[in-house]
Amino acid sequence: MKGKKALPERQRQAVVLRHIEGLSNPEIAEVMQIGVEAVESLTARGKRALAALLSGQRAELGYGEG
């Protein structure tokens, strides 16, 4: 993850707007000028990609094995 963006820009934007900014899918669709289904797809793919990137890094992130 170091030195490059972990997610494609559109996925990152959708995930940030949804899970950090707290916008609804229709609000994100308006901001990104795309359909709600596209927002759902981008956030789902972004969350899967983040989970894959972060798996195996629990200790580095300060989480135990449990």
Q: Apex CA 60: angle with CA 12 and CA 44, to 5°?
A: 25
Asked whether residue 46 is assigned to any structural domain, the reply reads yes
Asked whether residue 16 is assigned to any structural domain, the reply reads yes
Q: What is the CATH number of the domain that holds 33?
A: 1.10.10.10
Asked whether residue 24 is assigned to any structural domain, the reply reads yes
Domain that holds residue 42: 9-54
Mean pLDDT confidence for 7-23: 95
pLDDT score recorded for residue 66: 52
Q: For the chain, what is the domain count?
A: 1
Residue 2's pLDDT band (cuts 50, 70, 90) = very low
Distance from C-alpha of 37 to C-alpha of 60, rounded to nearest angstrom: 35
Distance from C-alpha of 34 to C-alpha of 19, rounded to nearest angstrom: 18
Q: Give burial (CB, 10 Å; 0-12/13-18/19+) of 21.
A: exposed
